[in-house]
Amino acid sequence: MLAEIKGLNEECGIFGVWNHPAAANITYYGLHSLQHRGQEGAGIVSTDGEVLRGHRNLGLLADVFKHGELDGLKGTGAIGHVRYATAGGKSLGNVQPFLFHFQESSLALCHNGNLINASSLRAELEKQGAIFQTSSDTEVLAHLIKRSQTGDFIQDLKVALNRVKGGFAYMLLTEKQMIAALDPNGFRPLSIGRIGDSYVIASETCAFETVGAEFVRDVEPGELVIIDDDGLHIDTFTKEVKHSICSMEYIYFARPDSNIAGINVHSARKRSGKRLAQEAFVEADVVTGVPDSSISAAIGYAEEAGLPYELGLIKNRYVARTFIEPSQELREQGVRMKLSAVRGVVQGKRVVMIDDSIVRGTTSKRIVSLLREAGAKEVHVRIASPPLAYPCFYGIDIQTRNELIAANHSVDEICQIIGADSLTYLSEDGLVQAIGKPYPNEPYGGLCMAYFNGDYPTDLYDYEADYLASLIEQKKLK
Ligand code: AMP
């Protein structure tokens, strides 16, 4: 048996606004455009300068706030969260923002990312008498802040932020201020925007379009952004920083209309498709992409290959992402409900099918057979990222190596398993060039490429031993 590396995944979306008369409503709209980052639960906490009020529940944002709950969230400051579904930790207690009431003040807190030293910190804190109410990593930060006792909240927060390791974008709200903090590698995107005299902060810039905000700047690794009635203050909690923006945000996770580190996600995906056509051209009649995340790459491939891009696959918009289903059987059923092939487009044709990534192989296998059932003569699969063979510990829900088809099989074997006529992945260098090296002087142009090469930008702390064991086991199997 391979060692199982599992953790609580916090692959989420966060949003906050300060100094706006309709803060909770703006947060609702902002979160709505971040719903793709998490569908399991949602919540908003607001402040009127005196009291923090919150509402949260399991489910999609629109369901959580369907009975007028927003009306009760008074005040001009608010933060909110949409949470990603995972097999574990699926309970109301883990839905954020968390709201803590202390003797003199209150604190709301939400988090996007995954801490890699959360369980050892938790054990240490429990030994000191802390009682945790949830199984979420996020609570650890609140305990660390409270224990620091410097007498100054921002100082306490800085102490706490230097203890947590891994991927984190935090939003905090007190009666008097809204604060955002980004981990020293900047794994997750986080940007600052402005609507007149109000500031907004969001996981992705697509939320700014929705609420009518203009982009101000990205939050940089190691920064603490404090917004209060005096305006915006940028502080830092560490100077030891190195950009390692999660490449999967560009490949799959973020919305195409978002910009990350100044690079538009759709354009990066389109370039990766073009590059794929240069690296892995194949004679064919049509190009199609798996909706929605692969359409940009498919358009790029078609343009470069001089082939027509066609809608060969249609997605039923009313089925949530299949990846969310915790069991393999449910996931397979999910793919069937979600996608259909368009017979008129693919019948009798040699089809190039572009997907952004292969994780377990469920989607590709199903799509190849859908296309064949619809009469495709040949199905050539092209993947707009390199083989995904290493887990992510910084907040993307891929934490068990034995689930990853490319960790256990060669490209030829995967091609056979998914039943394609040919299969080619984009090269590592091709991906880095296509995204466009947002920080040219840093490794991989400032991207985290660990999924593809195991080159983790940090120590792995609590995950190290399991991870090494899984690598050794893997070698034995091969
Ligand atoms: P699989 O069916 O397990 O091979 O998953 C591959 C599909 O899931 C691809 O079509 C991707 O668009 C999508 N995908 C890739 N990474 C993730 C992720 N971290 N969370 C959810 N879906 C993903």
Ligand 1 contacts (CB < 6 A) are: 252, 290, 293, 321, 323, 355-364, 396-398
Residue type, 125: L
Residue whose CA is at the smallest distance from ligand 1 atom 18: 397
Q: Please, what is the angle between helix 411-418 and helix 362-373, to 10°?
A: 50
Residue whose CA is at the smallest distance from ligand 1 atom 22: 323
Q: Is 429 assigned a ligand-binding role in the annotation? A: no
pLDDT score, position 328:
65
pLDDT score, position 399:
66
Q: Is 356 assigned a ligand-binding role in the annotation? A: yes
Distance (angstroms) between ligand 1 centre and the Cα of 361 equals 9
Choice from 332, 359, 402 to test ligand 1 binding pocket (greatest atom count within 8 A of CB): 359
Which candidate, 341, 378, 356, 349, places its Cα nearest to that of 273?
Answer: 356
Question: For the chain, what's the residue count?
Answer: 478
297: its two tokens: 């790459």
Residue 344, number of CB atoms within 10 A of its CB: 11
Q: pLDDT band for 3, please (50, 70, 90 cuts).
A: very low
Any idea what the Cα angle at residue 283 is, between residues 277 and 286, rounded to 5°? Answer: 80
Cα distances (Å, whole numbers) of residue 198 to 113, 194, 205, 210, 254:
26, 6, 16, 15, 25
The residues, ordered by sequence, that sit 6+ positions from 271 with a Cβ below 8 Å of its Cβ are 300, 433, 434, 435, 436
Q: Please, what is the angle between helix 138-148 and helix 118-127, to 10°?
A: 50
Residue in the block written with tokens 């009431």: 101
Instruction: Decide: helix, strand or coil at residue 472.
Output: helix
Residue type, 366: R
Mean pLDDT of 152-166: 97
Choice from 357, 392, 418 to test ligand 1 binding pocket (greatest atom count within 8 A of CB): 357
Long-range contacts of 206-215 (CB under 8 A, 24+ apart): 206/33, 206/34, 206/254, 206/255, 206/257, 206/258, 207/15, 207/30, 207/31, 207/33, 207/34, 209/33, 209/257, 210/29, 210/30, 210/32, 210/33, 211/17, 211/26, 211/29, 211/30, 215/191, 215/259
pLDDT score, position 90:
72
Give 118-149 pLDDT, tens digit per residue.
999 999 999 999 999 888 888 999 999 999 99
Q: pLDDT band for 168, please (50, 70, 90 cuts).
A: very high
310: its two tokens: 């066609």
Distance (angstroms) between ligand 1 centre and the Cα of 375 equals 25
pLDDT score, position 137:
84
Give 442-477 pLDDT, tens digit per residue.
999 999 999 999 999 999 999 999 898 888 877 765
pLDDT score, position 9:
46
pLDDT score, position 473:
78
Catalytic center residues: 12
Distance (angstroms) between ligand 1 centre and the Cα of 156 equals 39
Distance (angstroms) between ligand 1 centre and the Cα of 321 equals 9
The residues, ordered by sequence, that sit 6+ positions from 478 with a Cβ below 8 Å of its Cβ are none
Instruction: Decide: helix, strand or coil at residue 106.
Output: strand
Choice from 294, 360, 363, 367 to test ligand 1 binding pocket (greatest atom count within 8 A of CB): 363
Give me the domains of the chain, ranges plus CATH numbers: 3-241 (3.60.20.10), 265-435+452-477 (3.40.50.2020)
Q: In the structure, how many helices (H) and strands (E) does the chain have? A: 17, 23
Distance (angstroms) between ligand 1 centre and the Cα of 160 equals 33
Mean per-residue pLDDT over the chain, rounded: 92
Tell me the three-class secondary structure of 267-293, residue by residue.
HHHHHHHHHHHHHCCCCCCEEEECCCC
Q: What is the CA radius of gyration of the chain?
A: 22
Closest ligand 1 atom, residue 84 Cα: 20
Closest ligand 1 atom, residue 360 Cα: 3
**DSSP letters for 118-164:** HHHHHHHHHHTT---SSS-THHHHHHHHHHH--S-HHHHHHHHHTT-
pLDDT score, position 398:
75
Percent above pLDDT 90 for the chain: 82
Instruction: Decide: helix, strand or coil at residue 223.
Output: strand
Percent above pLDDT 70 for the chain: 92
Distance (angstroms) between ligand 1 centre and the Cα of 233 equals 38
Residue whose CA is at the smallest distance from ligand 1 atom 9: 357
Mean pLDDT of 407-411: 96
Give 85-114 pLDDT, tens digit per residue.
654 467 888 899 999 999 889 999 999 999
Q: List the single range of 7-21, 171-185, 268-282 with lowest mean pLDDT.
A: 7-21
User: Which has more pLDDT, 336 or 121?
Assistant: 121
Mean pLDDT of 238-251: 98
Cβ atoms of 248 and 259 closer than 8 Å: no
Q: Is 397 assigned a ligand-binding role in the annotation? A: no
Which candidate, 156, 155, 195, places its Cα nearest to that of 15?
Answer: 195
Cβ atoms of 206 and 255 closer than 8 Å: yes
Give 284-335 pLDDT, tens digit per residue.
999 999 998 999 999 999 999 999 999 999 998 776 554 555 566 666 666 6
